[in-house]
Structure 1
Amino acid sequence: MAQTLEQALADFSPGLPFAVAFSGGADSTALLLACAQRWPGQVRAVHIHHGLQDEADDFERHCQDLCQALNVPLAVRRVQAGHAPGQSPEDAARKARYQALAEAVQTEWPEVHDIALAQHADDQVETLLIALSRGAGLPGLASMPAHWQRLGLSWHRPLLGVAGAALREGLKAQGQSWIEDPTNVEERYTRNRIRAHILPALAQTLPAFRDTFARSAAHAAQAQEVLNEVAAQDLAHTGVPPRILALQQLSRARQALVLRHWLLHHHATTPSAAQLNELLDQVAACLTRGHRLHLKVGQGFVRREGASLAWHPA
């Protein structure tokens, strides 16, 4: 059974004081209200003004009014994120939002080290289905983590076990209004089409889908954690940058694992499946000193430099 909001917060133990990312929508409103009631005087709020919609100024005013009524300090940051070639606008906006949230907290309240986000069980299912539609590996199937470290802060998603409908019902019971983002019903976005058409069908066919999908995502996350440990050990053996001969002593699957780990953790880039397969083929073909290797990988190029591989940005 999905959690209630009260059960979810009973399992949530942030460092105090902490901040809530507050868009003014139903989910973040429910989270902010519940946190302000549970930890009075210990909650801060950050609103990101994207400037992408005519209603953005109204969203900000709504957030200011509610925070004033709750006696919750509010910081507002304006973000207009451009995207790099090969990067989706959504990904660019997400990265800019996280950066702005961290900057706001660290500037306004240096004593705050934890930020709570309002993604819930339906968001987790949508993320998993999108990952499946893209043929994602374990990192994608693990979906959204409940807790992680980034930009010098601890980030939390305490509502991943709570259905979105339960949050809205709770707000209605309190007579609390929220903002409806008009883009949430635009079906040109995959996530909105899933929400409108697939989730209702899943609820009818597989009533426990939120819980079972969450377990699958947790299994994937656990397996990925083990693979990360193996990859780190293999990278220590092959060296940084990886030595070609040492790579060739590993199975192809472990070569793929260690190369992904090296590119992500040392160069913040991720190869496509096709790029990684071509790189593995080229590593296998490096049997003579004169064999050249120069491949587009992620946002740059992998080259052979002597006995090792090297990655250079484009």
Structure 2
Amino acid sequence: MPLSPEFHFTPQSLQQRLQQAVLTVLNAAAKPRLLLALSGGLDSMVLLHVLAGLRETADFVLSAAYVHHGLQKQADEWAAFCQVQTAGLQVDFQVCHVELTEPGRNIEQQARTLRYQALAALLDADTALLTAHHADDQLETILLALKRGSGLTGLSGIAAQKPFAGTVLLRPLLAFSRAELEQYASANQLSYVTDPSNLDDSFDRNFLRQHVLPLLQQRFPAISQTTARSCQLLQQSLDYQRQQLAVELPAVLRQQQLDLARLAERREPQRTLLLRSFLRRYDLAPSAEQCREFVQVFLESAPDAQPLLQWGDWQLRRFNGLLYLLDASEQLGLNTAPASGIRLLPEQQQQWQHWQFCWSLSAQAPAADWSSLPLALDISSQLEIRTGQLNQRFKPAGASHSKALKDWCKLWEVPPWRRGSMPFIIAGQQKQIVAVPEFASHCSAAEAQSWLHYKK
């Protein structure tokens, strides 16, 4: 039976607490539109019902989305169930289909990643995403964090609010146990689905849910709520720590890269915390063992060494005292780019490897995020992108004489592993270098007859 937007009798304190908790989170976020991640399960159906009842007083537009992983044979039925329930509440609804690409690899993590990617695609800056995580989820998360030996970040648990996909992710039910949500659902005659995979205790979270939490809650009935309260306090400490690190981090940066000598001057635990703060930019959260490995490889090795660490999809390298992180695509292209690329055509935007180029008579770049170099060539010339061939000579504007490109690379402090794949532009029958994107041109702006616009 479809949901009704009317509230039925619920113990007054629980109904008021649920409404107030949701309103508090919504008011803090101040977003005019809300997107609810709807699974059809107990927690998301409760949140759907509460939100639907608050629309008029809170003045927001509500929609919902179901992410269809195709992992359960009932997935179509659950999507249809969510469709019926949202229709009864006059809530816009859509189904997002995703497909796991690596069935043999950590299904839970893959499904979670794909789910949030699908939801992120539905958001804009004025739309907040809501999920219905509750206090029992928080307790499970903390126990799993303890199992992994997590630090403050892991032990602070699931955040009630955090930046996400250019907007914000909200979880307003973290203070409420599953038992309270069941009480609310029963009082309001809410229907919901049950995922049979939740019974599979080969998954760590399900094992805790079936075998550990019942014992803890029997002995300590309020443990879910008290754990949620502890997480709030730890989250405050984590927020303060991150604010302090944001102030301290610039002191160990140079050219927006981590300066390893400056980092080495810091004492523990500040050194490790600053390292973690920097790596968070790349969504890297190294373990304690990895941090120790980092110190040995990068801070204690000889200055002329070329250390390298591989952490998942990221490769960490050192050059000129700075830390560089290379993603998978950049590693793939290390010194393997072809010696010749493509001919540049005038007044056309062209893509080559990880670059975009536009050779134009106009000094105006295609967009604000493009850079430009002047060329003392008209558009009847022939230009070509090249890589490699670092022995070719180049004379930048203002230079007293030419040098081999490999020598300019040293002066420009280009990391050795990037030099072989660094693009440069050649012109004419003599194949002379006329520009090196990001670095120099053969002429000044006053001598320009055309312009090379580029974006990496």
Q: Is the 8 A contact 2:39 2:67 kept in 1?
A: yes
Where does residue 64 of structure 1 map in the other structure?
83
Matching residue of 1:116: 130
Q: Which runs of 5+ in 2 are unaligned?
A: 1-12, 329-456
Q: 1:252·1:280 contact (CA, 8 Å) conserved in 2?
A: no
Deviation per CA, 1:72-115: give whole Å up to 9, x if none: 11111111133599x73322221221121122344xxx8x5112
User: Please, what TM-score do these two structures have when normalized by structure 1?
Assistant: 0.89
Match in the other structure for 2:314: 300
- Matched residues in 2 for 1:22 and 1:289: separation? 54
| Residue 8 of structure 1, CA deviation | 2.8
Counterpart CA distance in 2 for 1:28 and 1:22 is 5
Which residue of 2 is the match for residue 89 of structure 1? 107
Q: Aligned residue for 2:52?
A: 36
In 2, Cα distance between equivalents of 1:153 and 1:84: 31
Letter in 2 for 1:8: L
Give the structure with higher Rg (CA): 2
Q: How many pairs were matched up?
A: 305
**What's the RMSD between the two structures over aligned residues?**
2.2
- The alignment status of 1:144 with 2:158, answered yes or no, reads yes
Q: 1:291 aligns to what SS in structure 2?
A: coil
Does the Cα contact within 8 Å between 2:306 and 2:318 map onto a contact in 1?
Answer: yes
CA separation of 1:140 and 1:231: change in aligned 2, threshold 3 A? same
Structure 1 residues 281 and 73, CA gap change in structure 2 (3 angstroms) = same
Contact 2:123–2:167 under 8 Å retained in 1: no
Q: Deviations over 1:107-147 (max 9, x none)?
A: xxx8x511221111101111111101110111110100111
Name the structure where helix makes up a greater proportion of residues.
1
- 2:424 is matched with none
The structure 1 residue matched to 2:17, chosen from 7, 27, 34, is 7
Mapped to 2, the partners of 1:281 and 1:225 lie a distance apart of 29
SS for the counterpart of 2:285 is coil
* 1:103 matched residue in structure 2: 121
Q: CA shift at 1:241, angstroms?
A: 1.4
SS class of match (1:178): coil
Structure 1: which 5+ residue stretches go unaligned?
none
Shift of 1:169: 2.5
Structure 1 moving runs of 4+ over 4 Å: none
Aligned pair 1:49/2:68, yes or no?
Answer: yes
Task: Compare 293-302 and 161-170 and name the one that shifted more.
Answer: 293-302
Contact 1:82 / 1:89 at 8 angstroms: preserved in 2?
A: no
Determine helix, strand or coil for the equivalent of 2:64: strand
3-state SS of paired residue (1:158): coil
1:75 corresponding residue in structure 2: 94
Q: What's the CA shift string for 1:165-200, capped at 9, x where partnerless? A: 221222223332211111111111111111112111
| Aligned-partner SS, 1:80 | coil
Aligned to 2:257: 241
Confirm or deny: 8 A CA contact 1:276 1:297 kept in the other structure.
no
Q: How far 1:51 sits from its partner (Å)?
A: 1.0
Which of 256, 280, 291 is 1:264 aligned to?
Answer: 280
Q: Specify whether residues 105 and 205 from structure 1 end up closer, same or farther in structure 2 by C-alpha distance, changes over 3 A only.
A: same
Query: Among 7, 26, 38, which residue is 1:22 paired with?
Result: 38
